[in-house]
Amino acid sequence: MADTTQDGTRTESSTPAGNENGHGPNTSIVLHPARRANSGWLRNSFLATGVAILLSPLTLFWPSAAPIDPTDYAERTRRVLRSTPLIDGHNDLPMMLRVEVHNRIYDGKVDLEKKLLGHTDLLRMRQGLVGGQFWSVYVDCDANQKHFEDPSWVVRDTLEQIDVTKRFIAEHPKHLQYCDNAFCVRKAFKSGRIASMIGIEGGHQVGGSIASIRQVFDLGARYITLTHNCDNAIGTAASTVAAGNADEGLFKLGYSAVKEMNRLGMLVDLSHVSHQTMRDTISVARAPVIFSHSGAYALSKHLRNVPDDVIRSVKQNRGVIMANFVSKFLNVDHPDQAGIDDVVNHIFHIAELCGWDCVGIGADFSGTQHVAIGLGDVSKYPALIEAVMERGATDEQVKMLVGDNILRVWAEVERAAKGIQASGELPVEEEYEGRKWALGLKGDPWMLRESAMTCVADANVRGAW
Ligand SMILES: [Zn+2]
């Protein structure tokens, strides 16, 4: 979810082009040549592809890998996407089901196997050669929730989004395979189905509770974006800084959340968080992080994008930054002109600073109205891959971009968790400052000798006795 009219007006759409370092929009323009004008990339492409083909033993023994014209980008793209699953980091289809049909999927109003009006349906995912999808179970920030302690519908609606996502996956077994681990994705791809994973887009969706993080993990959620367009008990959002407030980074409970997500083996997603939250998180993460749908700040000065120092630190962290297709993030100055070349620019910028083993794709389809020209729906991924090849990427680099990187990161996160759990580290029991707890009924017996005094004296209680 990039924006809604409401959210966008309040946050992302209103993000100023300046940044916390004092650079305005005109002070650090990075020029990237248009792909058709760049003969250098093209020449490298010929050489790299030619060498790769000559060296490959498969060309001798496997007729289907017969050498092809390296400038036949469409055929190269088909070959790559037949061998490597293209995994998109973020799609908001579950939100559309909630908003438009109140999660009723059995009455025939929505047929995902036919062409729908929005960006996403199974018909066009197949055309787009999609191999895996993280479905975002996004629920808005609750504007009426002034403090973490205020009651809200957000956690309930999140549970419902997880529920409807699992139900629509189960409803289309010919096309979709539910996955909660990296190995499953490869298996689903081999069986000809689109691996379907669940990601939660905002720490507000777990109600400021580490126990809730454990529970949504048990329900199958495999990443949490630490914030959406509001601060929560975990950390500062990019939108908060865009609105002129201080960047306070990761909060105390946020450190505990990251610690617990690493222990669980849950991907920590840093799209939507402030730049300092990115830095703080990476400084303590015990496993690679992801950005499920982000761009490069140096190319487009929107605070949702990732600054260069963070991109470099992701290299050390071994994480992945999945490039999004959202117009205003791609080109904050002229979003109406954002096109495929802009997405390629962001991918190449990240690859230049971080290496090809830390780029990915996270379009944000169905989460925004405005996507790059030429990438209008889920059938268009091959067009992007062809453009990346035309710019000079080798087939091996493209394989990393489309799926190998996110799967490698996920497997590393799973391995790190196994190690942490084997060390005997216990689940985190921290809470946010000011958390209130219920008081028992008057006259109930006490379990602990000191409770009779401390509970009654405790200011952080709610309810009565
Ligand atoms: Zn988003």
Choose the catalytic residue: 175, 293, 302, 349.
293
Q: Domain 5-422: give its CATH code.
A: 3.20.20.140
Q: How far is the CA of 6 from the centre of ligand 1 (A)?
A: 14
Pick from 289, 57, 278, 92: which is nearest to 199 by CA?
92
Ligand 1 midpoint to CA 1 (Å): 3
pLDDT at 11 over 70: no
User: Which residues of the chain form CATH 3.20.20.140?
Assistant: 5-422
- Of 254-268, 277-291, 295-309, 450-464, the one with minimum mean pLDDT is 450-464
Neighbouring residues of 194: CB distance < 8 A, sequence distance ≥ 6: 122, 125, 130, 131, 132, 133, 175, 176, 177, 188
150 is catalytic: no
For residue 71, how many other CB atoms are within 10 A of its CB?
Answer: 13
How far does the centroid of ligand 1 lie from the alpha carbon of residue 284, in Å? Answer: 24
Which percentage of the chain shows pLDDT scores above 70? 85
Question: What is the rounded (10 degree) CA torsion for 365, 367, 373, 378?
Answer: 10
Higher pLDDT, 290 or 43: 290
Listed residue (324, 347, 194) closest to 269, CA to CA:
324
For residue 454, name the pLDDT band (cuts at 50, 70, 90).
confident
Mean pLDDT across 49-53: 44
| Predicted local distance difference test score (pLDDT) of residue 17 | 31
- pTM for the model: 0.86
Rounded average pLDDT over 264-276: 98
Cα 256 to ligand 1 centre (Å)? 23
Structure-model confidence comparison of residues 36 and 171, the more confident one = 171
- Catalytic choice (228, 346, 349, 370): 228
Residues 6+ apart with CB under 8 A from 315: 353, 354, 355, 358
Q: What is the tens place of the pLDDT at every residue in 69-95? A: 999 999 999 999 999 999 999 999 999
Give pLDDT, residue 121. 97
Q: What is the per-residue pLDDT for 434? A: 87
Q: Is 204 labeled as catalytic in the residue annotation? A: no
**pLDDT of 51 strictly over 70:** no
Is residue 321 within 8 A of residue 301, CB to CB? The reply is no
Distance 37 CA to ligand 1 centre (A): 32
Per-residue pLDDT of 202-221, as tens digits, reads 999 999 999 999 999 999 99
Separation between Cα atoms, residue 271 and residue 242, nearest integer Å: 14
Q: Which residues are registered as beta bridge partners of 359?
A: 321
Number of neighbouring beta carbons within 10 Å of residue 427: 13
Question: Which among 157, 364, 414, 431 is annotated as catalytic?
Answer: 364
Q: Measured between alpha carbons, how far is 252 from 281 in angstroms, rounded to an integer?
A: 11
Q: Mean per-residue pLDDT for 305-326? A: 98
Phi and psi at residue 181, in whole multiples of 5°? -150, 160
Catalytic-labelled residue, pool 12, 88, 90, 390: 90
CA distances from residue 306 to 116, 322, 397, 408 in whole angstroms, order as listed: 33, 11, 21, 21
Is there a contact between 253 and 432 (Cβ–Cβ < 8 Å)? yes
Residue 70 Cα to ligand 1 midpoint, Å, equals 36
147 is catalytic: no
Confidence band, pLDDT 50/70/90 cuts, at residue 53: very low
pLDDT of amino acid 364: 97
Contact 401, 360 (CB under 8 A): yes
User: How much of the chain, in percent, has pLDDT values that exceed 90?
Assistant: 77
Q: What's the confidence (pLDDT) of residue 463? A: 66
Residue 271 CA to ligand 1 center (angstroms) comes to: 7
Q: Is 302 a catalytic residue?
A: no
User: How many angstroms is it from 293 CA to the middle of ligand 1?
Assistant: 7
Helix (H, G, I), strand (E, B) or coil at 172: coil
Q: How far is CA 41 from CA 36, 52, 344, 350, 435, in A?
A: 9, 16, 12, 16, 56
Under the banding of pLDDT at 50, 70 and 90, the label for residue 309 is: very high
Supply the pLDDT for residue 66: 76
Active site residue 163: no
Q: Which of these is catalytic: 272, 346, 349, 370?
A: 272
Rounded Cα distance between 440 and 115, Å, is: 55
Q: Which of 12, 88, 140, 201 is catalytic?
A: 201
Ligand 1 centroid to Cα of residue 459, in Å, is 37
Which pLDDT belongs to residue 362?
Answer: 98
Going from the Cα of 133 to the center of ligand 1, the distance in angstroms, rounded, reads 15
Check if 113 is active-site. no
Instruction: Give residue 67's pLDDT.
Output: 85
Does 370 qualify as catalytic in the annotation?
no
Count the alpha carbons within 13 Å of 282 in the hemisphere toward its beta carbon. 26
pLDDT at 24 over 80: no
Query: How far is ligand 1, taken at its centre, from the CA of residue 272, in Å?
Result: 6
pLDDT at 392 over 70: yes
How far is the centre of ligand 1, averaged over its atoms, from the C-alpha of 321 (Å)?
14
CA dihedral in degrees (33, 35, 36, 42; nearest 10)? Answer: 110
Positive or negative: CA dihedral 224, 227, 230, 231: positive
Q: What is the pLDDT of residues 366-384, one digit of tens each?
A: 999 999 999 999 999 999 9
Q: What is the mean pLDDT of residues 149-177?
A: 97
pLDDT on residue 19: 30
Q: CA angle at residue 6 from 139 to 307, to 5 degrees?
A: 75
Compute the average pLDDT of residues 4-8.
35
pLDDT confidence of residue 453 = 73
Average pLDDT over residues 95-113: 96
pLDDT score for 5 = 34
- Alpha-carbon distance of 431 to 257, in angstroms, equals 10
pLDDT for 423-448, tens place per residue? 999 999 999 998 888 777 777 788 88
Q: Could you say which of 88, 92, 231, 390 is catalytic?
A: 92
Q: What is the pLDDT of residue 2?
A: 56
If you measure from the C-alpha of residue 291 to the centroid of ligand 1, how many angstroms do you get, rounded to a whole number? Answer: 10
pLDDT of residue 102: 97
- State in Å: Cα 95 to ligand 1 middle: 12
How far, in Å, is the centroid of ligand 1 from the Cα of 140?
A: 11
What's the pLDDT score for residue 455? Answer: 75
Do 195 and 184 touch, CB atoms closer than 8 A?
yes
Q: Are 217 and 264 in contact (CB under 8 A)?
A: yes
Segment 247-273 mean pLDDT = 98
Six-digit token pair at 85?
Answer: 């699953």
pLDDT at 325 (0 to 100): 98
Over residues 117-139, mean pLDDT = 98
